Amino acid sequence: MSDRRRVVVTGMGAITPVGLDVTATWKSVTSGVSGVGPITLFDAGDYRTQIAAEVSDWDPSAHFDAKELRRLDRFSEFFIVAARQAIAHAGLEFTTDEDLASRAGVMVGAGFGGMGAFIEEITTLVERGPDRVSPTGVPRIIPNMAAGLVSIEHNLTGPVSCVVTACSASANAIGDAAEIIRRGAADVMVAGGAEASITTFGIATFAQARAMSTRNDDPQGASRPFDADRDGFVMGEGGGVLILESLEHARARGAEIYAEVTGYGMSADAYHITLPKPGGTGAAKAMKAALEDARLDPSDIGYINAHGTSTPANDSTETAAIKIAMGDAAYGIPVSSTKSMTGHILGGAGAVEAIIAIEAMRHGVLPPTINYTTPDPECDLDYVPNEAREAEMRHVMSNSFGFGGHNATLIFSAL
């Protein structure tokens, strides 16, 4: 529709394994810094996988008092702080502007929500009985609570919701939030996602599924998307948040604009509970839908931040999908997976990677895929191997695919 409202990005915040804000994260990913190391959040000595990309130097007491922390899971901590960063970056103050707050909302994406809190409460129930379970157990666990807490803190009374679509969740949250603004239901949306699943159960169940790398003796070399020797993903944690506004609203208040959300595509593989559809047709459909939404040709895309998990099936399938969606342009588009450095943040990955894609466009720098040493004949695109590269781009794409066959693609453009 020609009269749809345009949506822009005016603020960003991030907590990742390679930085506690956007600036630090961007510096790390363009420098090829890996955030992967031995697991310290619990004793993983008996686990097949003993490595992960943890958010190091995280001190929740610097952001929350003791009473607040008793009510928060780690994933909510990440989302709330990333939201604070993004709101401050956008120069917004909701609590003193009732009209603005009434036209502002929150959309969070998460795969699991409070997995750590769930494990704690179940352990308490089994070991100490029902009378010792915390009355705040449910609010700590449910994934929508991160959005609810941000809305409460900032007095946001517009649309507030949660998307749970596995590893595409926060990409869906951003896309859905943009649609809310497009249709006029809000002027501002705080949108993104978070995850904190480096837990006993999280590591054990993915390891049992043979989905995770077991390069325990080489943590920083374990996440190697598109490389022929990849053996599984490395779990990460953290969160990312974008401030989305209608273009009119942003201009009216003189906001700095970092990108425009021009394309959003979704599709389903309708194939398998965990495996991507062979041949990449499902993922390609989401990319094509995003291109159509953005009214762009494949050759307009200057960079793709790939889902690129470092699993054998995902990387070859995504490569095939890019070829289908981009046609003859595929071999000329740089593609990289920053999961090689951040690990896979699951439900929070889409938001963090959207931010990285926007920063790539803003700074004219392509972040690399590190640990790329042995080419895979099935993965034959330009993956920006090992070192960042300067490049001009006006349109960037970010892919996110999740268990259950969920596919989401976002396109951001320079204004």
- SS3 sequence, 53-91? ECCCCCCHHHCCCHHHHCCCCHHHHHHHHHHHHHHHHHC
Q: Identify whether 395 is a catalytic site residue.
A: no
Cα–Cα separations (whole angstroms), residue 149 to 23, 125, 156, 174: 25, 26, 10, 18
For the chain, first and last CA: distance in Å? 19
Q: Identify whether 249 is a catalytic site residue.
A: no
Q: Which residues pair with 238 in a beta bridge?
A: 195
Residue 327 per-residue DSSP state: G
| Rounded Cα gap, residues 335 and 353, in angstroms | 12
Residue whose C-alpha is closest to residue 365's, from 30, 107, 6: 30
Residue 142 per-residue DSSP state: -
| Rounded Cα gap, residues 128 and 148, in angstroms | 30
Q: Which of 89, 249, 344, 406 is flagged as catalytic?
A: 344
| Rounded Cα gap, residues 348 and 328, in angstroms | 32
Q: Which of 167, 379, 395, 406 is flagged as catalytic?
A: 167
Find the radius of gyration of the CA atoms of the chain: 20
Contact status, residue 137 vs residue 372, Cβ threshold 8 Å: no
Q: Identify whether 344 is a catalytic site residue.
A: yes
Q: What are phi and psi of 9, to 5 degrees?
A: -100, 125
The alpha helices in 103-241, defined as continuous H runs, are: 115-128, 137-141, 145-154, 169-182, 200-208
Q: Which of 249, 307, 395, 406 is flagged as catalytic?
A: 307
Name the residues annotated as catalytic.
167, 307, 344
